[in-house]
């Protein structure tokens, strides 16, 4: 094909014109979006998303719950009619706030999260802060509740019954322009601590007081809840009680088990989880070349594309393998035998249970969990018992409880346990 400069220049002018129009459109959309935000303090702003009415909230814990459990070993009807109807509608707000990246010398950044406020006419309410689980999409996060089924379930279970629900998106998700900070310890703590402060500023601007403070999380969010609890206790911030579901509290042990002791129950999405974790550690801990040393070369580009949100998990799965042993380099897996490389040492420093915690804590685990083995999920109870601290209790979700069923079991049973602390403080109405 011959190159025609006249035609090419004409095409270029057309492309530039289209680009100019599109840029103007997006600039106006961005400006309008900025107008929707209300600034409350320096570096904290929020915007109204929508209201979940009672009909919507009830559908979340009925029809949507069945869909959530459609592939669960517990069955889609496992928790049918287990949840009470919503007592009030809930207003949802997206929060944008300034933060810093500890692993990168406290470099300034911006993050986002959700505040869900019950419409019950009260000016003082208890708060539960939820840490979300693993997602393979940038916007499948609390601040985009229509894209996050776990967040909707928390809203329907807690906010619809009078609890304010707060949730951070973590760095690299939601509005953040960073790469995903998947299982990066100090950045996860920082995102959560700063989201809590931002949410309190939003609530104060609405003249809403906060009562007892609880934290909860599932899967990645279970680990995040534990490392967040550690940070809160170090800052002398009181947590009334904490709960996790399927929490990989010891990342080094979890990763070693996934890589070197395959079990038929293992989730087919574990290669995606490890891809995100390795690439996040490579970026945030500046462990250059880590991904190349860990992932087989034929799958490395797919891993990078998933991490950069250029493909979704379905496409990633088609391009890779379901078993980690076929996805990772054998020599990298073998490095877990001694575990003295920078990779494994970083994971050792990311454990989230080895301290003398004094917050009432429940760790829920399931008999058929395809992600977090029983041994790992129950580590806090045994460790805290040895140290004489706690109270910490491991709670069994049942023989048929897989990863999702464990989450639902935990959400169902956390609420009455949290309510007991409200009764003690005479804040239940």
DSSP designation for 68: H
User: Is pLDDT above 60 for 12?
Assistant: no
- Please give the average per-residue pLDDT across 13-24, as a whole number: 42
Domain count, the chain: 2
d(CA 173, CA 135): 9
Task: Single out the residue in 286, 315, 348 at which a domain terminates.
Answer: 348
Looking at the domain assignment, is residue 246 inside a domain?
yes
Looking at the domain assignment, is residue 107 inside a domain?
yes
Question: Residue 424 has what pLDDT?
Answer: 80
User: Can you give the residue range of the structural domain that contains 259?
Assistant: 252-348
Residues 132 and 232 in one domain: yes
Tokens 């460790």 sit on residue: 383
Question: Residue 242 has what pLDDT?
Answer: 98
Beta strands in 11-89, from DSSP E residues, in sequence order = 38-41, 44-52
pTM to 2 decimal places? 0.91
Peptide bond into 391 cis (omega under 30): yes
What is the rounded radius of gyration, in angstroms, for the C-alpha atoms of the chain? 23
- For the chain, the average pLDDT equals 92
Question: Residue 426 has what pLDDT?
Answer: 58
Torsion angle defined by CA atoms of residues 350, 405, 112 and 114, in that order, rounded to the nearest 10 degrees? -140
- Please give the average per-residue pLDDT across 115-137, as a whole number: 97
Looking at the domain assignment, is residue 17 inside a domain?
no
What digits encode the pLDDT tens for the residues 64-79? Answer: 999 999 999 999 999 9
Residue 368 contacts residue 400 (beta carbons within 8 Å): yes
Residues 333 and 367 in one domain: no
CATH code for the domain of 79: 3.40.50.1820
Looking at the domain assignment, is residue 28 inside a domain?
no
DSSP designation for 121: S
Task: Single out the residue in 328, 348, 368 at which a domain terminates.
Answer: 348
- Please give the average per-residue pLDDT across 5-26, as a whole number: 41
What digits encode the pLDDT tens for the residues 357-399? Answer: 999 999 999 999 999 999 999 999 999 999 999 999 999 999 9
Question: Residue 23 has what pLDDT?
Answer: 42
Count of CB atoms within 10 A of residue 6's CB?
A: 7
Give the pLDDT band (50/70/90) at residue 219.
very high
User: Is pLDDT above 50 for 251?
Assistant: yes
Looking at the domain assignment, is residue 329 inside a domain?
yes
Bigger pLDDT: 53 vs 11: 53
Instruction: Write down the H helix ranges in 235-356.
Output: 251-260, 270-284, 290-294, 297-307, 313-319, 324-327, 330-334, 342-348
Dihedrals φ, ψ of 188, to 5°? -65, -45
Question: Residue 33 has what pLDDT?
Answer: 53
Question: Residue 34 has what pLDDT?
Answer: 58
Looking at the domain assignment, is residue 2 inside a domain?
no
Closest of 96, 127, 128, 123 to residue 206, by C-alpha = 123
Q: What sign does the dihedral 332-336-338-341 (CA atoms) show?
A: positive
Give the pLDDT band (50/70/90) at residue 423.
confident
Residue 317 contacts residue 270 (beta carbons within 8 Å): no
């Amino acid at each position: 094909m011959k190159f025609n400069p006249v035609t090419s220049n004409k095409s270029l002018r057309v492309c530039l014109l289209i680009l100019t129009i599109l840029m103007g459109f997006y600039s106006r959309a961005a400006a309008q979006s900025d107008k929707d935000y209300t600034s409350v303090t320096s570096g904290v702003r929020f915007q109204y998303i929508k209201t979940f009415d009672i009909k919507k909230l009830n559908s979340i814990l009925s029809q949507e719950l069945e869909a959530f459990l459609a592939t669960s070993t517990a069955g889609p009807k496992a928790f049918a009619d287990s949840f009470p109807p919503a007592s009030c509608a809930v207003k949802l707000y997206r929060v944008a706030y300034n933060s810093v990246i500890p692993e990168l010398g406290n470099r300034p950044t911006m993050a986002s999260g959700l505040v869900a406020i019950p419409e019950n006419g009260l000016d003082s309410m208890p708060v539960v802060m939820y840490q979300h689980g693993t997602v393979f999409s940038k916007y499948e996060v609390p601040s985009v509740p229509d894209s996050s089924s776990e967040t909707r379930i928390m809203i329907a279970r807690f906010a619809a019954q009078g609890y304010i629900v707060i949730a951070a998106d973590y760095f690299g998700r939601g509005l953040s322009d960073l790469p995903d900070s998947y299982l990066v310890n100090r950045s996860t703590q920082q995102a959560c601590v700063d989201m809590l402060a931002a949410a309190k500023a939003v609530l104060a601007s609405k003249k809403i007081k906060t009562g007892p403070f609880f934290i909860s999380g599932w899967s990645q969010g279970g680990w995040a809840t534990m490392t967040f609890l550690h940070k809160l206790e170090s800052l002398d911030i009181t947590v009334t009680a904490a709960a996790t579901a399927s929490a990989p509290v010891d990342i080094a042990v979890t990763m070693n088990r996934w890589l070197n002791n395959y079990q038929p129950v293992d989730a087919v999405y574990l290669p995606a989880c490890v891809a995100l974790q390795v690439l996040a550690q490579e970026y945030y801990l500046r462990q250059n070349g880590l991904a190349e040393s860990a992932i087989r070369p034929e799958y490395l580009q797919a891993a990078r594309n998933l991490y950069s949100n250029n493909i979704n998990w379905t496409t990633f799965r088609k391009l890779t393998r379901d078993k980690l042993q076929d996805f990772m380099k054998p020599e990298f897996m073998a490095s877990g035998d001694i575990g003295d490389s920078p990779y494994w040492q970083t994971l050792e420093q990311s454990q989230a249970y080895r301290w003398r915690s004094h917050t009432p804590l429940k760790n829920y685990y399931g008999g058929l969990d395809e992600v977090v083995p029983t041994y790992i999920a129950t580590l806090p109870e045994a460790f805290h018992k040895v140290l004489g601290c706690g109270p910490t209790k491991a709670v069994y979700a049942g023989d048929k409880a897989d990863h999702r069923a464990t989450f639902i079991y935990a959400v169902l049973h956390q609420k009455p346990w949290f309510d007991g602390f409200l009764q003690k403080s005479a804040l239940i109405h």
